[in-house]
Chain A
Amino acid sequence: MLSCEEVVERASEYLDRDLGRWGRLKVRLHIAMCKHCNRYVLQLGLTTRLVRSRPADPLAPHVEDQLIESFRQAPPEA
């Protein structure tokens, strides 16, 4: 039986399905019985989904314009 601390260390690999069959089963058994670890794993998954869906910060307009200006001066080679 894994300890909570061990489950937490494997949580990312569990979510990414990178654990072997046996490793995966051990985590599943633990989180089926431990509400704290279950919560931790769910929250880690939610964190990942939030990071992925976070809208990009807008770029300062002068940065973009400056880059586009240099783009105009150096158009791609055909």
Chain B
Amino acid sequence: MIEPQSFEALLQGDEQAFRALIRRHHANMIAVAMRYVRERAAAEDVVQETWMAVFRGVAKLRDPAAVVGWIYAILVNKARTRGKRDRRTLTFSDLDADGGPSQPAVSPDRFAANGRWSNPPLPWDDIDPERIVGGRQIWAHLGAAIEALPPAQRAVIVMREIEGQDAASTCDLLGLSEANQRVLLHRARARLRQALEDIVAMKGDAPAADKT
């Protein structure tokens, strides 16, 4: 969501407003582009071309609420074209690529045959957002976990949680059915939860000297 003042500044071609826009969206755009082109360098090209189109076309926009969706529509269009050109477009579906349609979000090993937890989630007394905001470790760990997600899951989590797009526009932009979008989002969250559990487990094992 773009603030009305920033939107006005963008329309007027204000350089600082574009800097802010670039800072806020560039890395997310690379993440989404990588669903279509698997090489980082190609994703960077696509994002750069997208920015060119944004610089040229932004003055035509009328609605500040539509800016982010508009940017991603340009991006996905360019990334798709580039992906086809590079013949890297996957011929199987995203759900297959992300582990198969029937694969659950949490490993079945953690449940007993009757469907109850056999290896339940660890308590997270240490991960309290208020307490960790000062420390960068958790953000770095979470950032790495987001980057390690399968491409379609990463694209969905970026659009939904980081860019704040709703389910309908995420489906629209990424060409997903509502059901696929929901499954990808759930799997992504489950993996990220697991990544946080892993850091909690690691901290538990760490020698006292490592604790600050």
- Please list the residues of chain A having a beta carbon within 8 angstroms of any beta carbon in chain B: 3-6, 8-9, 11-13, 18, 36-37, 39-40, 43-44, 46-59, 63-64, 67-68, 70-72, 74-78
Q: List 17 extra interface pairs beyond A43-B193, A44-B190, A47-B189, CB under 8 A.
A: A3-B116, A8-B190, A13-B182, A13-B186, A36-B121, A40-B121, A43-B124, A46-B127, A46-B129, A47-B192, A49-B129, A50-B129, A57-B143, A59-B26, A64-B19, A70-B55, A77-B56
CA distance A6 to B27 in the complex (A): 35
CA distance A67 to B60 in the complex (A): 20
Residues from chain B with a CB closer than 8 A to the CB of A12 are 182, 185-186, 189-190
**In the complex, are the beta carbons of B115 and A56 less than 8 A apart?**
no
Residues from chain A with a CB closer than 8 A to the CB of B26 are 59, 63-64, 67
CA distance A39 to B122 in the complex (A): 8
**In the complex, are the beta carbons of B111 and A5 less than 8 A apart?**
yes
**What distance in Å separates the Cβ of A66 from its nearest Cβ neighbour in chain B?**
8
| B146-160 interface bits toward A, Cβ cutoff 8 Å, 1 = contact, 0 = none | 100000000001000
A5-B189 contact in complex given A13-B182, A53-B129, A76-B58, C-beta closer than 8 Å: no
Residues from chain B with a CB closer than 8 A to the CB of A46 are 124, 127, 129, 196
| B17-60 interface bits toward A, Cβ cutoff 8 Å, 1 = contact, 0 = none | 01100111011100000000000000000001001100111111
CA distance A40 to B120 in the complex (A): 8
CA distance A70 to B18 in the complex (A): 12
Tell me if B70 counts as interface (CB < 8 A to partner A). no
Tell me if B161 counts as interface (CB < 8 A to partner A). yes
**In the complex, are the beta carbons of A57 and B27 less than 8 A apart?**
yes
| B98-110 interface bits toward A, Cβ cutoff 8 Å, 1 = contact, 0 = none | 0000001110100
Please report which residues of chain B, range 62-81, place their CB below 8 angstroms from some CB of chain A when the two chains form the complex: none
**In the complex, are the beta carbons of B115 and A44 less than 8 A apart?**
no
Which residue in B28, B56, B115, B129 is a CB contact (below 8 Å) of A76? B56
**In the complex, are the beta carbons of B123 and A64 less than 8 A apart?**
no
**In the complex, are the beta carbons of A51 and B55 less than 8 A apart?**
no
Residues from chain B with a CB closer than 8 A to the CB of A52 are 161-162
